[in-house]
Amino acid sequence: MEPAHSPLLTDLYQLTMVDSYLQQGMDAPASFELFSRKLPPGRGFYIASGIEAVVDWLTEMRFGDAELDWIRTCGHFRAGLAEELAQLRFTGHVEAVPDGTILFPQEPILRVTAPLPEAQLIESRVMNLVHLHSLLTSKAARAVLAAGGGSLVDFGMRRAHGAEAAMAAARSTWIAGYAGTATCLAGARYDIPTVGTMAHSYVLAFDREIDAFRAFATAHPRNVVLLIDTYDTADGARKTVQLAREGHPVHGVRIDSGDLGAEARRVRRILDEGGLEQVRILVSGDLDEYAIARLRADAAPIDGFGLGTRMDTAADQPHLDMAYKLQEYRGVARRKRSVGKMHWPGRKQVRRRFVDGVAAGDTLCLAEEELPGAPLLTEVMDGGQRTRSPEGTAAIRERVREGLAALPEACRALEAEPDLYPVEVSTRLRACAEATDRQRH
């Protein structure tokens, strides 16, 4: 029962509802769509991601013996449910945008069409995966935009919320445009360049700081990036110059504390006076897109940023307002009318129009409507099987890059005005919503 793979990683009510649907014979096709209801304040767009992870999970989803034992003994379900779940596989049809697609509120990220119990059962984990990846990719893209070409690396594994979040953070930051990650396993799995320097403990393990620098340069002569703030940053910079004079290679220094802009200026001066104009200065420590923007506005001589905690926890906004809602059952469009939580009913598509390479507006419409613009959702699964090959992170990264470049500039701002990007709702979709609301319940 490994959490990342177990169908019991779900909310109890999904199983309660499945139990009831099966009992009632309610297994007609249902369409659910996953979408974001609104953007966090100041955000002009978000990036949908995690669909690849969902497809992998759906393909593998099955109840094993340990899971079925729990179903039998937990006391919540009728006898016989475990036997039905033992046979259950995901057999549905899935349309989705590809990972790395820029989206706006109310636009579907993915649509599942499957027998109602299947489509219901998967809700919690589908949301969990897409929410996590989209959250972190969207946050990372902001840092990439703020850095304006400066090099960013992901140092956040230790404070990401667990193993899956750490892996998602490395993948998300890479597809958003970071230069690499410190997380080795993400490097191995997702083909991301791995990067790293040294920790304060390395310096502390030697009696003298210069001995630590010498040992590091000897052990890893191809990538000598020295952490220089363990005792005194200016002193660390002077020892860097000394190390280079001794003939050791030095590629960069990292500053992890203090006023990073002021320290970078001081260190740059010491390095330049020591003839180390080519040695790069990296900074780290509680950085995010806002800190990067401030350091750049201040013209601090910084070549690269190590980002961790605040990015990998999406600290200023660690959740997106996302929902997975029944849109159609037995061929009839549905929507709830709960205050502040309305959505557009029916099976939908998004069509995006471009003018001179810039995204000019989207139309949210019914899936079957033929309207101008490229459709964003395409089939990824049919009959419970993949119909599109898994996509590598390099292609997804390129999609993000192109998507950001095609976004109107005002949408890319760190503090964007609300609802800048035009998303219109088609006439037929509006009519469908009105007809749905006229039904009696």
Q: How many residues bind a copy of itself (CB under 8 A)?
A: 110
Angle between helices 260-273 and 289-297 (to 10 degrees): 50
Binder of a copy of itself out of 60, 65, 78, 379 (CB under 8 A):
78
Instruction: Please report whether residue 58 would count as binding a copy of itself according to CB under 8 A.
Output: no
Instruction: Please report whether residue 167 would count as binding a copy of itself according to CB under 8 A.
Output: yes
The contact pattern for a copy of itself, residues 218-237, with x = CB under 8 A and - = no contact, is: -xx--x-----xxxx-----
Q: At residue 293, what is the residue type?
A: A
Candidate segments 40-48, 193-201, 294-302, 383-391, binder of a copy of itself by CB under 8 A: 193-201
CA distance 386 to 238: 57
DSSP string, 30-51: EEEEEEEEEPPTT-S-EEE--H
DSSP H/E element including 359: strand 358-366
Instruction: Please report whether residue 60 would count as binding a copy of itself according to CB under 8 A.
Output: no
DSSP string, 138-154: HHHHHHHHHHTT-EEEE
Binder of a copy of itself out of 121, 140, 145, 182 (CB under 8 A):
182
Give how far Cα 191 sits from Cα of 181, 195, 298, 300, Å: 10, 13, 35, 32
Instruction: Please report whether residue 295 would count as binding a copy of itself according to CB under 8 A.
Output: no
Instruction: Please report whether residue 188 would count as binding a copy of itself according to CB under 8 A.
Output: yes
Q: Which is nearer to a copy of itself, 16 or 387 (CB)?
A: 16
Strand partners, 329: 30, 332
91: left (phi over 0), alpha (psi -120 to 50) or beta: alpha
Q: At residue 432, what is the residue type?
A: C
Binder of a copy of itself out of 49, 101, 172, 197 (CB under 8 A):
197
Q: Which is nearer to a copy of itself, 54 or 404 (CB)?
A: 54
Instruction: Please report whether residue 93 would count as binding a copy of itself according to CB under 8 A.
Output: no
The CB-of-321 to a copy of itself minimum distance in angstroms stands at 9
CA distance 289 to 239: 31
Positions 379 through 418 that interact with a copy of itself (CB under 8 A): none
CB atoms near residue 248 (< 10 Å):
17
CA distance 105 to 341: 12
Positions 124 through 163 that interact with a copy of itself (CB under 8 A): 124-125, 127-129, 131-132, 135, 155, 157-163
Q: At residue 396, what is the residue type?
A: I
The CB-of-228 to a copy of itself minimum distance in angstroms stands at 10
In the block, tokens 């046979």 appear at 87
Instruction: Please report whether residue 68 would count as binding a copy of itself according to CB under 8 A.
Output: no
Candidate segments 35-43, 179-187, 272-280, 360-368, binder of a copy of itself by CB under 8 A: 179-187
Candidate segments 267-275, 332-340, 397-405, 421-429, binder of a copy of itself by CB under 8 A: 332-340
Instruction: Please report whether residue 340 would count as binding a copy of itself according to CB under 8 A.
Output: yes
3-class secondary structure, 104:
coil
Positions 238 through 277 that interact with a copy of itself (CB under 8 A): 256-258
Instruction: Please report whether residue 199 would count as binding a copy of itself according to CB under 8 A.
Output: yes
CA distance 274 to 173: 35
Instruction: Please report whether residue 91 would count as binding a copy of itself according to CB under 8 A.
Output: no
The CB-of-407 to a copy of itself minimum distance in angstroms stands at 26
In the block, tokens 């009992």 appear at 23
Instruction: Please report whether residue 43 would count as binding a copy of itself according to CB under 8 A.
Output: no
Positions 11 through 30 that interact with a copy of itself (CB under 8 A): 11-17, 19-21, 23-24, 26, 30
Structural Rg of the chain based on CA atoms: 25
